[in-house]
Amino acid sequence: MSPDYDVVIIGAGMVGASLACAIAPSGLRIGIIESIALGSDQQPSYDDRGITLSPSSKRILERINVWQQMQSTTTAIKKIHISDQGRFGFTHLDAAELGRSELGHVVVARSLGQALHRQMSSFDNVDLICPAELKHFQKTDSAITLEITRDNKTESITAGLLVGADGSRSLVRRLAGINTKENDFKQTAIVANVTTQKPNNATAYERFTSHGPVALLPIDTNRSVLVFTVDKENTDRYLSMSDEHYIKAVENEFGRRLGKIEQVGQRRSYPILFIEAVEQYQEQLILLGNAAHSIHPNAAQGFNLGLRDVAGLAECIFTGIEKGQATGDISILENYIKLRIADQQRVMNFTNRLASSFYNELPLLSSTRNMAMLLLDFMPDLKTSFVEKTMGIAGLQPRLVRGEVL
Ligand SMILES: Cc1cc2nc3c(=O)[nH]c(=O)nc-3n(C[C@H](O)[C@H](O)[C@H](O)COP(=O)(O)OP(=O)(O)OC[C@H]3O[C@@H](n4cnc5c(N)ncnc54)[C@H](O)[C@@H]3O)c2cc1C
């Protein structure tokens, strides 16, 4: 007997919803289960955070018809300014100098969520089951049987492939018995929108400080998203400060490159953890996004990496369909890992190294970081290679990243 769905995705956050949009054109029957109603303040994926999208993400979102629905809410980043507090090294990346129209875009997570959900709901073969929660699952030879709760009732559905896109505390991962490697950076990212006296000129700023990075991402002429990283033990102090004191604290670290910070919006905090699943797949089951790897937000790479994984998995599923394979076929999942593992490892290593150099003020480390920035600024080839890597367009990439259709 065939399962109710060829693919069931747990979690309609950024990554789960992107996968549904990417594989829906195949005609597969797709169920996507989300515990929190879209638009609710509790939705962890779609709040007021500014998300930096790399050019690889733009290409993927264009190919899956999501970009077209949110383009008017995105802001292009034309320049990036990276500096190190208390040191002379800094680097400056300019799209025009690098022969590019932009270095990336910023979108508010809420707008991204609305576009993903609009696109998902345009497919008759995608059932969004929400609010509903996965409670348990059991594997049999031909399918996975899931126990979910909806309207206080328990239901059971069957899936050919179960995708755990249920975030860093993934229940799918736990029920599958998959262990994790974890590191608590003992830092918190505090995010708020700010209005600055001077226009940002489409420039994103990242400043290394002894307690983590401070980033300002442009969202409008005089408005930016401020990501302020603080030591975990100081979180409550920064959250409960008056706006005036908070602005002073930020300006102490960031300076007044954009003039005075005139207004600061609601502050939200995010604990920063590294979590890596030690295996990402089993027969008929795969982990994606934060469930597979949650990384430090210092280089704005988490969703960008998760979206390239989505592109890779969609490609392997389409190829499997052409060969007449079932969606849960282990060879599809093996091909996916072969395609994606190098990029995943590279991004995890890069963000972890960057994080340890932030809060490690050993003179050798901080001067190496300083020297690297100076080198980057003076060597155009090095700059191009660095930018291509952080843009997610270097090395072997899935077809959607290369701008092809599946
Ligand atoms: C401060 C900060 C700034 C960031 N900035 C950037 C950036 O600029 N660029 C970038 O690329 N990345 C950025 N990231 C990373 C990015 O936010 C994550 O990579 C992304 O949100 C991961 O999405 P996800 O769908 O895997 O997980 P989540 O967003 O956690 O979504 C998981 C979903 O699963 C649902 N769920 C969980 N359990 C169940 C269950 N049992 N049943 C049903 N549903 C369930 C949840 O409700 C949720 O909707 C940032 C992260 C932080 C913290």
- Express each pLDDT in 33-84 by its tens digit: 999 998 777 777 888 889 999 989 999 999 999 999 999 999 999 998 888 7
Mean per-residue pLDDT for 20-26? 98
Between 306 and 363, residue with greater pLDDT: 306
Protein residues whose CB sits closer than 6 Å to any atom of ligand 1: 10-16, 33-36, 43-45, 49, 51-52, 133-134, 165-167, 171, 189, 191, 227, 270, 289-290, 297, 300-304, 306
CA torsion angle 332 338 339 342 (round to 10): 150
User: CATH second-level architecture of 5-61+108-182+273-391?
Assistant: 3-Layer(bba) Sandwich (3.50)
59-73: buried (b, 16+ CB within 10 Å) or exposed (e) per residue?
A: bbbebbbbbebbeeb
- 297-339 pLDDT, tens per residue? 888 899 999 999 999 999 999 999 999 999 999 999 999 999 9
Cα–Cα dist 7/248, whole Å: 50
Contact 160, 5 (CB under 8 A): yes
Range of lowest pLDDT (6-10, 45-49, 66-70, 236-240): 45-49
CA 405/CA 399 separation, integer angstroms: 7
Atom of ligand 1 at shortest range from CA of 135: 41
Window from 14-28, 257-271, 296-310, 383-397 with minimum mean pLDDT = 383-397
For 92-129, letters b (16+ CB in 10 Å) and e give ebebeeeebebbbbbbbbbbbbbbbbebbeebebbbbb
pTM of the model: 0.93
- Distance of CA 165 from the midpoint of ligand 1 (Å): 9
pLDDT at 102 over 50: yes
pLDDT-based confidence at residue 363 (cuts at 50, 70, 90): very low
Instruction: Give the ligand 1 atom nearest the CA of 291.
Output: 26
More confident residue, 83 or 275: 275
For the chain, domain boundaries: 5-61+108-182+273-391
